[in-house]
């Protein structure tokens, strides 16, 4: 075995998986995991831990995998992470822990994500759950939103003995893990549901169907319902659109709508909620959500084009997702930007007009700014357009909570180190604070806020 190369992981065949919703990556076997774990140098000064937003003791858990103490490995991860089976699947490890791995200097970094996933799956299959604290401290915390930041914050506080209740607006717990990320990347019943159950095993209560800001508000939670502190992890909000002519035509969807119908409402499983199955689909945007929408449309039977205004190098989606998308047959129309959508006489999308772009000087984000090439417009025939351009914050909580400050974009203002907001006893984190970001960053914010709330309540 070449020690510079990682142990490859089994995946479903691209041609086969392009037609089903089963998981793409099949994960390591025990033997493969042990072999990969042996590649870890167990550095004295492990840079990977610093690269992890929730600071998992990575070398320690990998050593346990090497010694086949999988249960111990799970306990080490659980000290820092509430959702390891999720993170092992959806974290951008290549820019975090694996991005700074010493092994990566000469060869391929240790496959930390796949090892984390292996350990979490092994624990689940052996029915090992995190242990609830034996003593409660008598203090109550309300968490708003059962997504990655809320679940993490709730789990950490429960471990410290707090009585935690999560209020979730939708009919399932999980947030973006259930409405956004598709089944083929993150199985719902086998993985997400089990991780949520693990959080509940720590003593956390989850109340679904409660929209904070509508059903009850933040002040009621604090003043009437006896909560000592609150964490707001309400997630991202309304989808953005381009504002180009024809965008309101039938067959133009936001990625949020398309994915929610498919994932949360389980349209692909023939539940009652309908989904439009386009034959030729154009997805506009280049983030992870765009990849998820594109690969979902493909599985529903469409030919799918991703239209993105910069080049492959600037594409913000994870490399692994782009690679999988290409393997499955997604067509990337790069350096192009939509300028108009045309509809037929019945109001349905029939084509999208795009203009070719070239890259100019870097803009404030550090990426090279795309510039239109004059007279390069052309039309792409399609019956569906999915806009994946990010979201703007949901106003439900900020507009109904006195004294909670938001920035000019409408995001809640919270301190990065402890989640503290402008309102006493109210903490916040995740997409509600940062705007659309990643699962692991939201988890990191939930973790920091749990620490902040613990300090506040022990002052």
Partner 1 sequence: MYKILKKKLLAEKIYEYVVEAPLIAKSCLPGQFIIVKMDEEGERIPLTICDYDRQNGTVTIVFQTVGASTLRMTELGEGDSFRDFVGPLGQPSELCREKNLDEIKKKKIVFIAGGVGTAPIYPQVKWLHEHSIESTVIMGSRNKELLFYTDKMEKVTEDLHITTDDGSFGFHGMGTDQLQALVDAGQKFDWCVAIGPMIMMKFVCLLTKKLEIHTVVSMNPIMVDGTGMCGACRLIVGGEVRFACVDGPEFDGHLVDFDLAMKRQSQYKTEEGRKTLAVQEGDTHHGGCGSCGGDK
Q: Which of 222, 1, 193 is nearest to 108 (CA)?
A: 1
CB of 274 to partner 1, least distance (A): 4
Question: Quick one: 15 or 208, whose CB is closer to partner 1?
Answer: 208
Backbone Cα Rg of the chain: 23
Q: How far is the CB of 427 from partner 1 (least distance, A)?
A: 21
Q: Which is nearer to partner 1, 58 or 432 (CB)?
A: 432
Of 137 and 250, CB closest to partner 1: 250
* C-beta of 376 vs 399, nearer to partner 1: 399
Q: Write down the least CB distance from residue 243 to partner 1, Å.
A: 8
Torsion of CA 90, 180, 18, 125, to 10 degrees: 50
Comparison of 68 and 214: residue with beta carbon closer to partner 1: 214
Phi first, then psi: give them for residue 120, nearest 5 degrees.
Answer: -65, -40
DSSP of 64-114, one letter per residue?
Answer: HHHTT-HHHHHHHHHHH-S-HHHHHHHS-GGGTTGGG-THHHHSPPP-HHH
Tell me the closest approach of the beta carbon of residue 238 to partner 1, in angstroms: 5
Quote the CA–CA distance of 33 and 50 in Å, as a whole number: 23
Distances (CA, A) of 272 to 174, 295, 439: 21, 22, 29
Residue with tokens 């950490």: 156
Contacting positions for partner 1 (CB under 8 A): 169-171, 179, 208-211, 214-216, 235-239, 241, 243, 248, 250-251, 253-254, 256-257, 260-261, 264-266, 271-274, 276, 346-347, 394-396
**CA–CA gap between residue 108 and residue 38 (Å, rounded):** 14
CA distances from 82 to 44, 357, 452 (A): 26, 43, 17
Q: Shortest Cβ distance from residue 452 to partner 1 (Å)?
A: 27
CB of 291 to partner 1, least distance (A): 19
Please choose, from the candidates 389, 353, 391, 382, the residue with its C-alpha nearest in 3D space to the C-alpha of residue 250: 382
* CB closer to partner 1, 272 vs 402: 272
CB of 276 to partner 1, least distance (A): 7
Distance CA 412, CA 427 (A): 10
Min separation Cβ 385 and partner 1, Å: 13
- Say which residues have a Cβ less than 8 Å from residue 29's Cβ, sequence separation at least 6: none
CB closer to partner 1, 104 vs 435: 435
Beta strands in 255-326 (DSSP E): 280-284, 303-308
- Closer CB to partner 1, 72 or 193, in the complex: 193
């Amino acid at each position: 075995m070449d020690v510079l190369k990682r142990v490859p992981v089994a995946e479903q065949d691209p041609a086969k998986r392009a037609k089903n919703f089963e998981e793409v990556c099949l994960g390591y076997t025990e033997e493969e995991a042990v072999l990969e774990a042996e590649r870890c140098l167990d550095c004295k000064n492990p840079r990977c831990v610093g690269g992890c937003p929730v600071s998992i003791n990575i070398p320690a858990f990998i050593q346990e995998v090497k010694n086949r103490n999988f249960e111990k490995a799970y306990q080490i991860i659980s000290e820092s992470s509430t959702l390891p089976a999720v993170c092992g699947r959806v974290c951008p490890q290549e820019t975090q822990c694996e991005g700074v791995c010493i092994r990566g200097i000469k060869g391929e970094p240790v496959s930390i994500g796949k090892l984390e996933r292996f350990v979490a799956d092994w624990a689940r299959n052996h029915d090992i759950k995190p242990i609830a604290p034996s003593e409660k401290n008598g203090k109550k915390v309300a968490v708003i939103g059962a997504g990655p930041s809320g679940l993490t914050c709730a789990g950490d506080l429960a471990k410290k003995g707090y009585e935690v209740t999560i209020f979730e607006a939708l009919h399932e717990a999980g947030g973006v893990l259930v409405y956004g990320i598709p089944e083929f990347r993150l199985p719902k019943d086998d993985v997400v549901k089990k991780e949520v159950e693990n959080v509940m095993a720590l003593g956390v209560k989850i109340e679904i169907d409660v929209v904070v800001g509508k059903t009850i508000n933040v002040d009621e939670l604090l003043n009437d319902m006896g909560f000592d502190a609150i964490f707001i992890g309400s997630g991202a909000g309304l989808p953005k659109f381009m504002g180009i002519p024809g965008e309101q035509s039938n067959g133009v969807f936001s990625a949020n709508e398309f994915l929610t119908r498919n994932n949360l409402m389980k349209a692909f499983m023939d539940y009652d909620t309908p989904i439009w199955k386009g034959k030729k689909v154009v997805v506009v945007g280049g983030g992870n959500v765009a990849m998820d929408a594109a690969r979902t449309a493909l599985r529903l039977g469409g030919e799918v084009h991703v239209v993105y205004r910069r080049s492959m190098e600037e594409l913000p989606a994870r490399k692994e997702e782009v690679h999988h998308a290409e393997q499955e047959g997604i067509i990337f129309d790069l350096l192009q930007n939509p300028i108009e959508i045309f509809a037929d006489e019945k109001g349905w999308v029939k084509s999208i007009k795009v203009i070719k772009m070239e890259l100019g000087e870097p803009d404030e984000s550090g990426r090279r700014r795309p510039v239109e090439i004059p007279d390069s417009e052309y039309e792409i025939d399609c019956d569906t357009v999915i806009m994946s351009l990010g979201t703007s914050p949901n106003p439900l909580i900020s507009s109904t909570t006195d004294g909670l400050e938001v920035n000019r974009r409408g995001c809640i203002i919270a301190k990065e180190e402890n989640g503290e907001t402008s309102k006493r006893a109210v903490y916040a984190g995740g997409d509600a604070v940062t705007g659309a970001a990643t699962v692991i960053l939201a988890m990191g914010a939930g973790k920091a806020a749990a620490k902040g709330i613990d300090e506040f309540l022990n002052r």
